[in-house]
């Protein structure tokens, strides 16, 4: 469970490519997530093209730093799944798995929200060229961290109720 507590947002990356084997391992972890009725609505677009990464980073004022990431994942979900109202929840679980595996492999990343802002969802979908049946959910910058990762303790016992 060490990676659960070590995982943090990483926004600065070394100018070093991420190996395809590691990207596939990260996506394998994502796809191991639970989903409503096992619908597995998530889809992943791996972007390594510098120009496309820059265009995607410009789709949100909170994603500009991602232009420097060696890999940018566009995470989307199928609109035509069995329980579409649960697709964003399912995709969140996949993204958390992805992030924990990123840390386990010595990489760093950060989740940039696109959903539920429809204007951002549309802009990312158009820029990434997503199929019509998919809805953009998030961007995820990925790379080797430039600098030490300093996780934060986010435990607040006062937020727990015992009955």
At 106-134, the pLDDT tens digits run 999 999 999 999 999 999 999 999 999 99
| pLDDT interval class at 151 (50, 70, 90) | confident
Smallest CA-to-CA distance from 19 within 143, 115, 140 is with 143
At 60 the pLDDT is 93
Cα-Cα-Cα-Cα torsion 144, 92, 55, 110, nearest 10 degrees, comes to: -30
Please give the C-alpha separations between residue 36 and each of 20, 40, 55, in angstroms, as whole numbers.
29, 8, 33
pLDDT digits (tens, 9 = 90+) for 68-92: 999 999 999 999 999 999 999 999 9
At 108 the pLDDT is 96
Torsional sign, CA 86, 87, 91, 92:
negative
| pLDDT interval class at 38 (50, 70, 90) | very high
């Amino acid at each position: 469970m060490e990676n659960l507590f070590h995982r943090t947002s990483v926004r600065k990356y070394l100018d070093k490519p991420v190996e395809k084997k590691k990207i596939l391992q990260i996506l394998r972890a994502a796809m191991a997530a639970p989903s409503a009725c096992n619908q597995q609505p998530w889809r992943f677009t791996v972007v390594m093209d510098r120009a496309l990464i820059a265009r995607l980073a410009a789709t949100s004022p909170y994603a500009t730093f991602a232009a420097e990431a060696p890999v940018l994942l566009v995470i989307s979900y199928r609109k035509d799944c069995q329980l579409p109202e649960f697709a964003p929840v399912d995709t969140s679980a996949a993204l958390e798995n992805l992030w924990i595996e990123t840390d386990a492999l010595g990489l760093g990343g950060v989740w940039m929200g696109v959903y539920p802002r429809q204007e951002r969802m549309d802009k990312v979908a158009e820029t990434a060229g997503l199929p019509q049946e998919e809805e953009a959910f998030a961007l995820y910058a990925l790379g080797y961290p430039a600098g030490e990762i300093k996780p934060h303790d986010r435990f607040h016992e006062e937020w727990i109720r015992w009955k």
